[in-house]
Amino acid sequence: MKSVPVQYQVSPYLVFFLVHSLQVGVGILGFERIVAKFVGNDGWISMLLAGLTVNGVIWIIYKILSRSDDDIIAVHKQVWGKWAGGGFSLLFLVYLFISGTTILRSYIEVLQVWMFSNVQTWVFAIILLSLTYYIISGGFRVVTGMCFFGVVVPAFLVFTFFYPLKYADFRNLLPIFNHSPQEIMMGMQGCLFSIMGFELLLMYYPFIKDGQKSQKYAHFGAVVTTVIYTYLTVLTFAFFSENQLSRSIWAYLSMIKIIEFPFIERFEYILISFWAFVIIPNIVLTLWAANRGLKELFQIKQKYGLLALLFIALVCNIIMDDREKINMMNAFVGKAGLYLVYIYLPVLLLVQTIKRKMRKKA
């Protein structure tokens, strides 16, 4: 076990903010269209089931980590050995980096389409990545503080969840249970990219004081996320017809366009601006985890590793210059996350359990 000094650790209750802030990101702005493509008006069922299964995966994560009281890098070495374990760890870090880069590019796309159509991608990328460097350089406690504010500061936007209710027609949800179990499963896969983020527990677990005491807060964060996403799915399907939803890339933003005040005509501009408080924790914590893993694997100084990651992220954002490439990366991250949390982690727990029993018998 590589113990983390107490001054760098955070209290267990902050895991709620770490889990919840990472699950609520850019995906919430338009995940409904992807779900509707697979399962139609039963999309809320897929979202509810996907959210419930997340709690099962969180239990698996804590079971794996509690046995070594360390992060996934150390677990891989213990279970698979130095070289094979290092290979699995490197794949996981690549996944984290691609995930963070894709979140950044997706938010920049929203800014360009809705607010600043003439501003180049590299301008937004440099601004956001510079802020990312500043926050990560402050250490994990600063990163956690950003996740805390990423939940608290935009909390006033919760009223936007209820304003469109008076225009909703809940008959659009009928008939219920009109799709096969296979279609429901496909819909769950479409939900997964939006509710990922909890798997970063695998990296920051050693930075939590009394890690096992934080499990209830991780579950609570996932439950709150599930409730929010399921409610928004129901609301969106009641607000739009299935045909309208298929043409709406950012359904949530399209829905709140109806909100007007005497002194504010385009309220969605305010929401998109404040959404930076939601997106930045996603980028910061993901790239922090990737950088932390590089330090453990290759003994690279975190400062130089972080600069290298940010430069590569900038190049990747410039290369992803159209909607098709962004969609492709979102689909890749979603599938990779699916294999990681629903296939690999259960297998890892099984192998770890077998090896522990073999050592006890020996």
Inter-CA distances, 73 with 84, 91, 287, Å: 11, 11, 16
Q: Which two tokens stand for residue 40?
A: 């139609």
- The number of folded domains in the chain is 1
Q: Which residues are within 8 A (CB) of 154 and not within 5 positions of it... i.e. 6 or more apart?
A: 274, 275, 277, 278
Residue 264, pLDDT above cutoff 80: no
- Angstrom distance (rounded) from CA 131 to CA 123: 13
Inter-CA distances, 94 with 100, 115, 236, Å: 10, 31, 34
Choose from 65-74, 111-120, 126-135, 255-264 the range with maximum mean pLDDT: 126-135
For residue 148, what is the enclosing H or E element?
helix 140-152
Question: Is residue 311 a part of any domain in this protein?
Answer: yes
Specify the long-range contacts of residues 76-79, CB closer than 8 Å, at least 24 apart. 78/352, 79/348, 79/351, 79/352, 79/355
pLDDT 10s digits, 297-355: 998 888 999 999 999 999 999 998 888 888 888 888 888 888 998 999 999 999 999 99
For residue 58, what are the domain limits?
A: 19-361
Residue 261's DSSP bridge partners are 264
Q: How confident is the model at residue 74 (pLDDT cuts 50, 70, 90)?
A: very high
Q: What integer pLDDT is reported at residue 307 of this predicted model?
A: 95
- By residue count, the chain amounts to 362
Residue 94, pLDDT above cutoff 60: yes
Mean predicted lDDT score pLDDT of the chain: 89
Question: Is residue 275 a part of any domain in this protein?
Answer: yes
Q: How confident is the model at residue 1 (pLDDT cuts 50, 70, 90)?
A: very low
pLDDT 10s digits, 193-211: 788 889 999 999 999 998 8
Q: Which residues are within 8 A (CB) of 319 and not within 5 positions of it... i.e. 6 or more apart?
A: 325
Amino acid at 152: V
Q: What is the mean pLDDT of residues 46-69?
A: 91
Q: What is the mean pLDDT of residues 103-128?
A: 92
Q: What integer pLDDT is reported at residue 31 of this predicted model?
A: 82
- CA 355 distance to own-chain centroid: 31
Q: What integer pLDDT is reported at residue 312 of this predicted model?
A: 96
Question: Is residue 293 a part of any domain in this protein?
Answer: yes
Question: Is residue 1 a part of any domain in this protein?
Answer: no
Top-confidence residue, 110 or 362: 110
Residue 243 and residue 174 in contact, taking contact as beta carbons nearer than 8 Å: no
The CATH number that applies at residue 46 is 1.20.1740.10
Question: Is residue 12 a part of any domain in this protein?
Answer: no
Model pTM score: 0.92
Q: What is the mean pLDDT of residues 110-117?
A: 89
Of 139-143, 181-185, 341-345, the range with the lowest mean pLDDT is 181-185
Q: What integer pLDDT is reported at residue 2 of this predicted model?
A: 57
Question: Is residue 13 a part of any domain in this protein?
Answer: no
pLDDT 10s digits, 272-311: 888 899 999 999 999 999 999 999 999 888 899 999 999 9
Question: Is residue 78 a part of any domain in this protein?
Answer: yes
- Angstrom distance (rounded) from CA 332 to CA 44: 23
Top-confidence residue, 168 or 87: 87
User: Which ranges of 240-275 does DSSP label H, i.e. alpha helix?
Assistant: 242-246, 251-256, 267-274
Residue 22 and residue 28 in contact, taking contact as beta carbons nearer than 8 Å: no
In the chain, pLDDT over 70 holds for what percent of residues? 99
Question: Is residue 86 a part of any domain in this protein?
Answer: yes
DSSP label of 209: T
Amino acid at 46: S
